[in-house]
Amino acid sequence: MKILRMLGRSIRDAFKSVFRNFSLSLASISCITITLIIVAISIIASYNVSNFTEEIEKDLTIVVFVENDATEEQIETIKERLKDISNINQKEIKYESKKQIKEEMQKESDIFNAVMADWDEKDNPLKDTFQIKVNKAEEISKTAKQIEKIEKVSLVRYGEGMVDKLIAAFESIKKVTYGAVLALILVTIFLIINTIKLTIYSRKREISIMRLVGASNFTIKTPFIVEGMFLGLLGSIIPILIVIFGYPALYDKMNGYVFTPLVNLIHPNPFIYTVSLMIAIIGIIVGMIGSSSAVRKYLKV
């Protein structure tokens, strides 16, 4: 009960303080706002990039062509050897014999059907194939090389080059984004420390009287920490509005994809709410970190 009452007091004090030092609070709220906008964009971008990468990874197929003269046992051996490679998804090793492929192709088009109709087992120039999926897309070229070494494997194909480059680009975008977000958060913390420092100075008299009349350290410190959290929360309002209204607008404008329908954007619902929640939490946590370090530094109790 007592704790609740004291907390109520802290919140009231924090409110008052934000309005009492309005210009100062406004300055730091604006800084938090700008940072959080950029953080929000970064989060949205990095989630989407992760999403693209995942999608691409999911679709990424290696096709392994088996030499024409391979016996059935040899094909079985190839299958076993493929299973031994750790980057290969065990569940998705799909074998298609040349006969199956031929039948499929015949079904697909009448021309093929006409041409292929009188191929018998021996004349069939097609190759038996394995279609496999990998766990880690970034190691796909390594895996492909491993497969090539297997006996009776004639050819290994995947979207070389394009895929590798795309994945590498996404990876570096991710890293740059993380770096930028981290730097911005540090700047924000620094600004909050300064805001709270000034609040502490402007309330020096009050603090000294609080100490005199027997307020505990907890009571003295909490309002400042709450104030920092409050600043963080206020700073997250505009970024959240931008996310909630901006992202769906962007999504609609781009018809849900970037450049090609292969690269889908994440659907706004519930994505924007998740991001908003993250922004609010980041704002509050950053505010709390800033204010607690200001309290530790400038409030000698």
Partner 1 sequence: MDIIRLKNVKKQYKNGTTAIYDLNLNIEKGSFVFIIGGSGSGKSTLMKMLYREEKPTKGQIVVGGLNVAKLRNSKVYKLRRKLGIVFQDYRLLPKQTVYENVAFAMEVIGATKQETRIRVLKALEIVGLKNKVHSYPDQLSGGEQQRVAIARAIVNNPKMLLCDEPTGNLDPEKSIEIMKIIEKINKDWGTTVLVVTHDKEIVNRMKKQVITLKEGRLVNNKVKGTYDNENT
Burial of 82 (0-12, 13-18, 19+ CB in 10 A): buried
Burial of 58 (0-12, 13-18, 19+ CB in 10 A): exposed
Which of 73, 91, 121, 214 lies at the binding interface for partner 1 (CB under 8 A)? Answer: 214
The interface with partner 1 within residues 225-264 (CB under 8 A) comprises none
Query: Considering the rule CB under 8 A, would residue 205 count as an interface residue with partner 1?
Result: yes
What does the alpha-carbon distance between residue 182 and residue 185 come to, in Å, rounded to a whole number?
Answer: 5
Query: Considering the rule CB under 8 A, would residue 100 count as an interface residue with partner 1?
Result: no
Query: Considering the rule CB under 8 A, would residue 202 count as an interface residue with partner 1?
Result: no
Which of 215, 233, 237, 244 lies at the binding interface for partner 1 (CB under 8 A)? Answer: 215
Nearer to partner 1, 162 or 213 (CB): 213
Compute the least distance from the CB of residue 215 to partner 1, in Å: 4
DSSP of 28-97, one letter per residue? HHHHHHHHHHHHHHHHHHHHHHHHHHHHHHHH-EEEEEEPTT--HHHHHHHHHHHHH-TTB-GGG-EEE-
Which of 61, 106, 113, 219 lies at the binding interface for partner 1 (CB under 8 A)? Answer: 219
Nearer to partner 1, 1 or 117 (CB): 1
Which of 38, 126, 180, 210 lies at the binding interface for partner 1 (CB under 8 A)? Answer: 210
Query: Considering the rule CB under 8 A, would residue 206 count as an interface residue with partner 1?
Result: yes
Phi-psi region of 256 (alpha: psi -120 to 50; beta: other; left: phi over 0): left
The interface with partner 1 within residues 6-25 (CB under 8 A) comprises 6, 9
Question: How many residues touch partner 1 (CB under 8 A)?
Answer: 19
Query: Considering the rule CB under 8 A, would residue 212 count as an interface residue with partner 1?
Result: yes
What does the alpha-carbon distance between residue 273 and residue 268 come to, in Å, rounded to a whole number?
Answer: 8
Q: Which residues lie near partner 1 (CB under 8 A)?
A: 2, 5-6, 9, 205-206, 208-217, 219-220, 301
